[in-house]
Amino acid sequence: MGPNKEERIKTIALELGFSVVGIAGVSPHARANDVYDRWLRADMHAGMTWLSRHRQKRRDATSLLAGARSAVCVGLNYYHEKEKEQRDSDGSNGRGLFSIYAHGRDYHDVMGEMLGQLNAKLKASFPGMRSRACVDTGAISDRTMAIRAGIAWLGKNSSAISPQFGSWIFLGELLTDLELRPDRPLDTMCGKCTKCIDACPTGALDEPFVVDARKCISYLTIEERGEIPSPMQERIGLNVYGCDTCQSVCPFNNVVTNALAFDRGDRSPLVDMTVAELEKISDEEFEKKTAGSAIRRCKAGGMRRNAAIVRRNIEAKNRHHPR
């Protein structure tokens, strides 16, 4: 007896370079939808108004693909040990910190290309199949689908945590009208651990499994378009773009290995610039140096603002703790 549909699909996905793959049903998930609605009502999505506008689409995958029955959910390990050198920086080299996910090519492009390849191969194997690839920008929740597919569980920092690769994974899914047997979801393995909550510099994780974007450094340095509230500026520390603090302290991130599929050859030049240089970067230079990079999301003005904050934090640190 040959492999069943589910096994064939998973084999194809892994051969393409995805790190993990699982299958989820797409029927509305009442509990996840209720939690999300409460989060929105509490205004924890801050200025990300599109999350509220797309709420109804998020509740039902068939709004993205009519007749959708299953989701092939994939994860791609993006961690590289060499990037940890940056996380160990104390700012003495004049550089700030960029979230590891943004060091290389824009993950939307990387995952989009790989999901396109997966889509083509599955259509060749299952003629007549209808499908739609989703990576972050769609209304569907990649994290919720990954958890339903059994490739990750929900961490107390609200990240999806893979048993094999921790939370250093990009997520995406291929919605399909194929009737597939779903995998069993994983229960959280966080137990009594609160390391991520304790380490958060701004208290954005005070409620376990929920992130308050209004206090989150990733939100403030990437999505916030205005001035960052003064009380938060010192707490940003060295973070120029995003924040990996809650991930860096997670015990499950000790199991990760270097990524095989995610190409680090296109390392962003901004990562190696000093905050003094970033503070003065022109709109034109920013656009040129962020081509094909997720860092473009914060815009040139946001980068100059963030760099100025980090520069002041480094100067304050040097005043209080001269070398």
136 is catalytic: yes
Burial category of 301 from C-beta neighbours within 10 Å (exposed 0-12, middle 13-18, buried 19 and up):
exposed
Supply 145's token pair: 């689908």
Q: Which amino acid is at 148?
A: R
pLDDT at 83: 65
Yes or no: say if 47 and 224 are a contact pair by the CB < 8 Å rule.
Answer: yes
Supply 137's token pair: 């920008």
**What is the per-residue burial (b if ≥16 Cβ within 10 Å, else e) of 284-296?**
eebeebbeebbbb
pLDDT at 10: 98
Task: State the catalytic residue, choosing from 60, 109, 136, 266.
Answer: 136
Please work out, in degrees rounded to the nearest 5, the angle formed at the alpha carbon of residue 296 by the alpha carbons of 80 and 229.
Answer: 100
**pLDDT one digit per residue (tens) for the chain, 323 residues:** 457 999 999 999 999 999 999 999 998 776 777 878 888 887 888 888 777 776 776 667 888 899 999 999 999 999 877 666 666 677 778 999 999 999 888 999 999 999 999 999 999 999 999 999 999 866 788 999 999 999 999 999 999 999 999 999 999 999 999 999 999 999 899 999 999 999 999 999 999 999 999 999 999 999 999 999 999 999 999 999 999 999 999 999 986 677 765 555 578 999 999 999 999 999 999 999 999 999 999 999 999 999 999 999 999 887 766 65
Supply 34's token pair: 């209720």
Query: Taking Cα atoms as reference points, which of 149, 141, 157, 113 lies closest to residue 262?
Result: 113
pLDDT at 251: 94
What does the H/E/C string look like for 192-239?
Answer: CCCHHHHHCCCCCCCCCCCCCCCCCHHHHHHCCCCCCCHHHHHHHCCE
pLDDT at 1: 45
Task: Determine the Cα–Cα distance for residues 199 and 162; give it in Å rounded to an integer.
Answer: 20
Task: Determine the Cα–Cα distance for residues 152 and 161; give it in Å rounded to an integer.
Answer: 5
Query: Taking Cα atoms as reference points, which of 153, 96, 108 lies closest to residue 262?
Result: 108
Query: Taking Cα atoms as reference points, which of 154, 168, 162 lies closest to residue 103?
Result: 168
- 171 has which bridge partners? 75
